[in-house]
Amino acid sequence: MKKDSLGVSVYKAKPVFADKRGQIFDFIEELVSHVGMISFKKGAVRGNHYHKKSVQYTYVISGKIAITLSDIHGKNVQHYTVRPGSVTVIPARIVHTYEALTNAVILDLTTKTRKLDGYEKDTVRMNLS
């Protein structure tokens, strides 16, 4: 899996196995504490934060989303446009912002739980947009 200068991976999911019954895709090989689904209306902006310890995985189910990433100092800015089947792996301490270019739906998976304020305690708000 190729990583950019921030350590972020963005790639199109490819099956690890396929036969007449369908396909199998492998996405994550580590423990995940939260799985959520997020919907976006066209033009919606989400994120504008980083996580102190959590790794965030995003799988695009539908739509088109612009992702802006940077280090915690707002330097080394990277831009991606992701579509259905795209996987994004965002390490801890990478600022990320999502802007929906169309209505969109993503799966959001993180290595820290959202329970007991786990999400809020691990999240630092910033503004990249």
pTM: 0.89
The strand pairing partners of 9, in sequence order, are: 89
Please check whether residue 78 is in contact with residue 68, taking contact to mean a CB–CB distance below 8 angstroms: yes
pLDDT at 105 (0 to 100) = 98
* pLDDT tens-place string over residues 22-79: 999 988 888 898 999 999 999 999 999 999 999 999 999 999 999 999 999 989 999 9
Q: Is the pLDDT at 97 greater than 90, yes or no?
A: yes
When computed from its CA atoms, the radius of gyration of the chain, rounded to whole angstroms, is: 15
Q: Where do the domains of the chain lie, and which CATH numbers do they carry?
A: 9-125 (2.60.120.10)
